[in-house]
Amino acid sequence: MLSSKKEVNGLHKMFKKTSLILLLVMYLLAISLPVFASSSAHETIHMKGTVRYIAADGTYGILGENGKKYQPVRLAKEYRKEGLAVAFDAKIREDLIGARMWGTAIEITRIAKLDQYISAAENDAIQLLLLRMDAFETHDLAKLQRIDVVSRGLSEQDFTDWLGFYGKFTLRYVEITEAEPETIRGMCLYTRELVNAMALSGNIKRSLLYFTLSKLEGEWKFTGTSNYQPGSPNVDLEQYAAELEVQGMSKYGTDNLAKRPPKH
């Protein structure tokens, strides 16, 4: 009987010791590794910021333009440069928690150097604007009316008169000023060329367009368009448009957005 009690006491002590070791191991894991929760929905952010090297951790984070710190789950090697200005789309990962986190954990879905960044909203706008250019180029009012609510009041004659002798419609530059789940607003530069006609001041005309896109029945449509006017009334529009054309070449790698490189 005495031997049996000793065995029980020995097992009890061994169990307590093992339990303490397991608790210690779990604690060490908790403070050194992120904790994964079961949440599947994550807030999405669109942000500009500066890459920062965190010497204490030997890793990189991004200081957002809003002053907040973000720590990417994975940051591509080409962007691991102290002071690099970037723009990015990311999912907030509140389910990743760790004692050594420099900032809010994020999962980057799109990133680019600031002067080359193209947001998801800009991509959507570019695709719709290219369809608009194609409708102009092919003189197809029905094609235009499928994507442009405002144009549905035009007659074939109105459309023909507006197009005149112009052709070779080319989208050069797009800038988004507002992006919401159901609305995108921005401006673009496109050119058109006089064909089969003589012009006193050159055949190519630059045009600035302000546009509003709305999501109707799950698809983006033009719900407003007008001539774009820069903030200052003293701006030389021709020079302004020419500068945008140069910016477009730098940003997209082409002067014709219909021929953008695949990486965009």
> What's residue 11's pLDDT?
47
Q: Are residues 92 and 131 located together in one domain of the fold?
A: no
Q: Band of the pLDDT at 233, cuts 50, 70, 90?
A: confident
Do 145 and 165 sit in the same domain of this protein?
A: yes
Q: What is the pLDDT of residue 105?
A: 93
* Count of positions (residues) in the chain: 264
- Same-domain check for residues 58 and 149: no
CATH number, position 70:
2.40.50.500
Residue 105 belongs to domain spanning: 44-116
Q: Which has more pLDDT, 116 or 208?
A: 208
Amino acid 40: pLDDT: 47
Query: How many CA atoms does the CB half-sphere of 214 hold within 13 Å?
Result: 8
Last residue of a domain, one of 90, 116, 142: 116
Q: Are 219 and 88 found together in one domain?
A: no
Pairing relation of β-strands 183-194 and 204-216? antiparallel
- The pair of structure tokens assigned to 19 is 């339990």
Residues 101 and 134 occupy one common structural domain? no
Residue-level pLDDT at 101: 78
| Average pLDDT score over the chain | 84
26 within domain boundaries? no
Looking at 72, 97, 116, which one is the last position of a domain? 116
Around Cβ 175, how many Cβ atoms within 10 Å?
Answer: 15
Instruction: For residue range 105-130, list pLDDT tens digits in order.
Output: 999 999 988 877 787 888 999 999 99
Does this model's pTM top 0.85? My answer is no
pLDDT in the model for residue 12: 54
Are the C-beta atoms of residues 185 and 176 closer than 8 Å to each other? yes
- Taking residue 224's Cβ as centre, other Cβ atoms within 10 Å add up to 14
Cβ–Cβ < 8 Å for 119, 87: yes
Over 50: is that where the pLDDT of 38 sits?
no
pLDDT in tens, 177-201: 888 889 999 999 999 998 865 655 5
Residues 6+ apart with CB under 8 A from 169: 133, 134, 136, 137, 190, 191, 192
Rounded mean pLDDT, 237-258? 92
Angle at 231 between CA 225 and CA 234, to 5 degrees: 115
- The closest of 151, 147, 149 to 132, measured between CA atoms, is 147
Confidence of residue 202 (pLDDT cuts 50, 70, 90): low
Total domain count, the chain: 2
Residue 15: predicted pLDDT: 53
Whether 242 shows a pLDDT value over 90: the answer reads yes
pLDDT digit string (tens) for 54-96?
A: 888 889 999 988 889 999 999 999 999 998 999 999 999 988 7
Overall average pLDDT of the 230-239 stretch? 85
Beta-carbon-side half-sphere exposure of residue 152 (alpha carbons within 13 Å): 10
Flag the least confident range among 9-23, 138-152, 245-259: 9-23
Side-chain half-sphere of 160: how many Cα atoms within 13 Å? 3
11-24 burial string, b = 16+ CB within 10 Å, else e?
Answer: eeeeeeeeeeeeee
